[in-house]
Structure 1
């Protein structure tokens, strides 16, 4: 759950020390630069900067031999590399210790785990499984969300079994913004979609072709819809306007911890 970048003097990072280690292993700055992700010129630049600031040379030229010589680390260079390895171990131990403390705080640990999941779905809502309607082919999960709303997700029964879905289990509902339909006036009609969330338009981010519309729900959660600019203009969608977000149950994906 925790990570952090370790740097020395604000400049010497993991890539620089990967370069040193590759030089130590290959005896070639050219090969080491490729291994560490530097250009040859970039490698020389960072090495020269470090050398200019070091009290003792970090590199030395090796002459002769089967390979015709090359470059290797001096004792000072190896000492710097060894110090970095020790600091990395201490840094990792520190992060793991802090992570252990966080795990003892379930609310914070749960938040970090949920945020750690990386997905392109713009709408992500934490909830708890309230009900399961299992059928031979499809299963519907009802999640109770933190804001007091409920959202229904329909999936294959096999998928529900893979998730090991159970009442009371924590879950995340994911909905693509393109799967959200905004309704500003039902005109007396009812829709078949199971998920309908009434709220207030809180932002409209207009793009070249489409806009992102944020709908704030009771409780403060924001549901984002991707709407064409033509639809924005036709419906006159604007901030502070009431609207309802409609999402079909099969458009809701569910994530659960393994």
Structure 2
């Protein structure tokens, strides 16, 4: 298990977690529920009860074979294997999110159109997904959801689905093996203590090919765009 987070898969009113997946995987590996419980250091009765609880909600996950030359055993059903595969996809998405730089902006909801909210932040208005009722929110933008453009080439706002767009300047470029983390300084609406225009930093993850194509280096003017559907707003202090 990775430190810092634990993925959960919600299926109806059942929450499948790491312990459930470890148990089902052990059944598949060990060939029986009893051997799986032993391998994990758990009691058989609790393991049997948990599998039963999951199957009550999700259908048959473990197929039990009784007797026979090998003395019987258990293996996962197709539904059991599908559940493990689905959980693996969710966990991979969690791990990807946990390892990705994120820009966080606080703001206030100005307007809503269904699940899309227009939020006033200190760098301007941001359109983001908002599923709860809230006035004050925190907007999160993942570095890999942002696209950089040459200011001369950027399309008109209404001609693209990436309706969030901000002009900024490259502050730094951290080259890695095949990608680069580019920090973009975006002017904010407020001023610093010395009266100069304050700035917020927006992390952007791009390929090295994009770094070269856009000639990204400190001081370079760029336009950052990102879709509302790739941006999430969550309530500050809970739903209103």
TM-score for the superposition, normalised by structure 1:
0.46
TM-score for the superposition, normalised by structure 2:
0.49
Greater C-alpha Rg: 1
Structure with larger RCO (C-alpha < 8 A, sep 6+): 2
Of Structure 1 and Structure 2, which has the larger fraction of its residues in strand?
A: 2
Of Structure 1 and Structure 2, which has the larger fraction of its residues in helix?
A: 1
